[in-house]
Amino acid sequence: MKVNLLLLCIVIGLSGCASKGGSSTTNKTASPAQANQYSGTGTLVIKAIDFAKNSYVREAVKNECNLITKLTDFIDQNAAKNYANIITDSRSIPRGAEVLTIEIEQVQGGGGGAWSGAKVVLINGKLTKNGKLLGDFKARRYSGGGMFAAYKGTCAILGRCVKTLGSDVAKWLAHPTKNAALGDL
């Protein structure tokens, strides 16, 4: 069955269809007890994402690229199938909710789009429930802009990184582990 799927992927040319080493998440398969713990019936609170205090991020990137909003939205969209309720703008945390806290640790994104080199976004996060740590991670994605990169600006390329990070984090949320390395780490 796996061979047939792989052949189909090759014939059709679907990228990302077959498992590739070094991409997505590096989580171990969850035990049956962990799998039952995340049934899609709970609540996830995504705390306000921010840049880490010691991070260096160009002011133009902070002001123009909307990375915080985009990352929150991509995590929300990708994690929706695993939670009955996702809250992204809340000052209070419902009892029994899982709480996701993320900081953007590093952004490498020189002006000039693809002409100024690959763009990188590095984040770290943790998931807690009732004050207990369920898991934590570091995640990094980089992009040179993909096809037609010469016609994309810095924010568009960083947006590709953040979109993929949103998917990485959502997959990790289904089976959180401690000290996980996601993405291109």
State the Cα–Cα distance between residues 89 and 92, nearest whole angstrom. 9
Residue 103 C-beta-side C-alpha neighbours within 13 Å = 12
CA distance readout (Å), 87 to 44, 58, 93, 105? 6, 29, 9, 23
| Sequence-distant (≥ 6) Cβ neighbours of residue 156 within 8 angstroms | 113, 145
Which residues have C-beta within 8 Å of that of residue 153, sequence separation ≥ 6? 113
Task: Read off the pLDDT band of 101 (50, 70, 90).
Answer: very high
Q: SS3 for 45? A: strand
Examine the pLDDT at 150 and tell me if it is beyond 90: no
Residue spans per domain, the chain: 42-183
| pTM of the model as a whole | 0.74
More confident residue, 92 or 19: 92
Q: Which CATH class is domain 42-183?
A: alpha beta
* pLDDT confidence bin for 115, thresholds 50/70/90: low
Alpha carbons 50 and 152: distance in angstroms, whole number? 25
Sign of CA dihedral 94, 164, 135, 124: negative
